[in-house]
Amino acid sequence: MPKYLLKPREQHVDLQICIPVYKRVNELLILANSIRDSLDGLNYNLYFLLNGASEDAKTLVLEKLAKFNNTGVIFFEENIKEDIFIWPLLNLPKGLCWVIGDDDFVLGNARDIVNQSLNNDLTILNYDLYDQNLENKVIANYLGRDFLSNNQDIDIKSLFSILGDKLCFISSVIINSKILSFNSIDTTPKSFQYASLIYNSFAKYELETRIVFEDEICFRQRGNNIPDDVKHVTDDIFINDIRLFYIRMLKEPVYRVSAFFRLIELTFVLIPKRLIVCRIEGRVSNVRTFTFIDYLYLFVVKNILRVVPVTFLIFLRDSRK
């Protein structure tokens, strides 16, 4: 069971901000300082969730970061992995909640954008994707490219059609946890239970809700900030878990059509691309299959990639840039 090492002085605030903490130290310090600088004047609590955190990370939080009256520290003796992202939504005081990845960076204009979000049940925040050092922009307007208009109100069915699995990128969501229900979580696969909780809860919620996409960039997210020795975990998510997520979403009538077309695109376009990257970078991918046709198709794809020279795959990849 998690235990509070420190509780904020004020429990009734407009927004709960939560940062899951594991091993990153330098990135966490940069993020925490950016939150303090950017959101000055807003009525919020900032929780550090020590999720099996390293000693260096715990020391940083307890000695340097948790020194303000609106700070809370919750200690998890063991790393609960993906569950850490939904734990605050279901266990902290109900209301607006923002779970932020521990290596992101909040921009100075976030104060006004976050303040506007206090009127919504679900706010999708836009961001730029940077390299792991936050020095070079990799992809600008990362979520805004998917939306046709700026700052638009949207329903949950349309949101699923537009973003789909991208909703699992946690930092981009400020959500009213009063709407969420534990019964709406589809915990298989774990990697997408955060998105599943939000989509299914909103689809089943009987009262009117307000969902808004904010197009103005208000934070930076690090891309490719994944150590080489754990890249196989990311491969598993974007080859296997993502397909299983859409297969599970097919059972919900409100999402069925969009989930079907996403599944087709994944199977015949995006997953072969991911398998090519794995082959070029010398990683062995563990491809799971869910139907017999699925098995036959991916068996053929994998065996073709085994015999194609890596130099030719590199040429194909580079020729499309």
CB 134: neighbour CB atoms within 10 A? 17
Q: What is the DSSP string of 95-110?
A: SEEEE--TT-EE-TTH
Q: Residue 285 pLDDT more than 90?
A: no
DSSP element (H, E) containing 47: strand 44-51
Which structural domains are found in the chain, ordered by start?
A: 3-222 (3.90.550.10), 228-319 (no CATH)
- DSSP state, residue 153: E
Lowest mean pLDDT among 112-126, 223-237, 250-264: 223-237
Nearest alpha carbon to residue 124 among 141, 108, 105: 141
Lowest mean pLDDT among 87-91, 222-226, 280-284: 222-226
pLDDT of residue 230: 72
pLDDT of residue 320: 66
Report in angstroms the alpha-carbon separations of 146 from 92, 123, 170, 215: 32, 15, 17, 10
Q: What does the pLDDT look like over 51-89, one tens digit per residue?
A: 999 999 999 999 999 999 999 999 998 899 999 999 999
The percentage of residues in the chain with a pLDDT greater than 70, rounded to a whole number, is 97
- State how far the Cα of 315 lies from the Cα of 215, in Å rounded to an integer: 36
CB of 187 closer than 8 Å to CB of 80: no
Confidence of residue 232 (pLDDT cuts 50, 70, 90): confident
Confidence of residue 93 (pLDDT cuts 50, 70, 90): very high
Q: What is the pTM of this model?
A: 0.92
Give mean pLDDT, residues 234-238.
89
Q: Residue 317 pLDDT more than 80?
A: no
